[in-house]
Structure 1
Amino acid sequence: MPTKKAEAIWKGNLKSGKGTMKLESGSYEGAYSFATRFEDKAGSNPEELIGAAHAGCYSMAFSNELDKAGFTPNSVETHAEVTIDPGAGAITKIKLIAKGDVPDIDDAKFQEIAEAAKNGCPVSKALKAVNIELDATLVN
């Protein structure tokens, strides 16, 4: 079973410190800080990386579920909105916004498969303590 790796280095205290995060593959390395995480300043943060991971995983899971049901998607595009409550020190919600271009499917079946993919996605399973919402739209 594959094990994927990432690392982060943080220097200083929470409010004025700075850090970097990078992926083992080398495909991403970025700086982050308190301001980029909690004050909407330019730069990366752990939540957007979680969002990217969730959006990528969901798109793959949804495509797979569609295929298993006999539908071949032209495309699945997913955006993730990750909400963090600094006061609670917790990620409180992830909203997945998906658009699927899937020929020969009706919206009811599309929605059924979209929901199954949300529940079956490995990242969704890992984040089951978080409220995960889904807004899936069939486009074709």
Structure 2
Amino acid sequence: MTTRTASARYDGFGREGKGHVATQSGILNETPYAFNTRFGDEPGTNPEELIAAAHASCFTMALSFALAGAGYTDGTLETTAKVTLAQEGGNFTITRSDLELHATVPGISEEQFAELAAGAEANCPVSKLFKAEITLTHHLNA
């Protein structure tokens, strides 16, 4: 089993607050996120962008391994994930993640490629996460 971690800090609240996110690997370190990075054009990241990166990379890797398992050794896979955040009632909801794949796999049929791609989408861990149980443990500091 592999466990990876990331952390987020938010100083202040609401639109005026400012956050920073960091990952265990250090690739993100004090990377800013806030209302204006999520809904505006201020430099920084946001949860939907990070989810899109995770989904695109996970799916692409899963398909790469499926193709290797089917005997293919050469090619290129490029995936874009578009994660949609929509307002429903008074709340925001991530309503979808649309994957767009461009691939070059010499010698594969359209039918086999479609089957392997569908399997990779259904079985990549991030795709499964969208249906996963989520737990929360909280600690309030006085």
TM-score between both structures, scaled by the size of structure 1: 0.84
Cα distance, 1:40 vs structure 2: 4.4
Please name the residue that 2:67 is paired with.
Answer: 66
- Supply the AA of the counterpart residue of 2:84: T
Look at both structures and tell me which one has the larger radius of gyration over its CA atoms: 2
Larger strand fraction of residues:
1
CA deviation digits over 1:28-85, x for unaligned, max 9?
1310111211234432101111111111111110011112222224221111111101
Cα RMSD, aligned residues only: 1.6
Identity %: 44
Higher relative contact order (CA 8 A, sep 6+): 1
Of residues 110, 114, 120, the one that matches 1:117 is 120
Of residues 98, 102, 116, the one that matches 2:101 is 98
Question: Are the structure 2 counterparts of residues 86 and 31 from structure 1 closer, same or farther at C-alpha, using a change threshold of 3 Å?
Answer: farther
Superposed structure 1 runs of 4+ greater than 4 Å apart = none
- Does the CA-based 8 Å contact 1:57-1:123 persist in structure 2? yes
Q: Which runs of 5+ in 2 are unaligned?
A: 133-142
Matches within 5 A, 1:28-43: 28-29=28-29, 30-43=31-44
2:111 and 2:16 map into 1 onto residues whose CA distance is: 50
TM-score between both structures, scaled by the size of structure 2: 0.83
Q: What is the number of residues matched between the two proteins?
A: 129
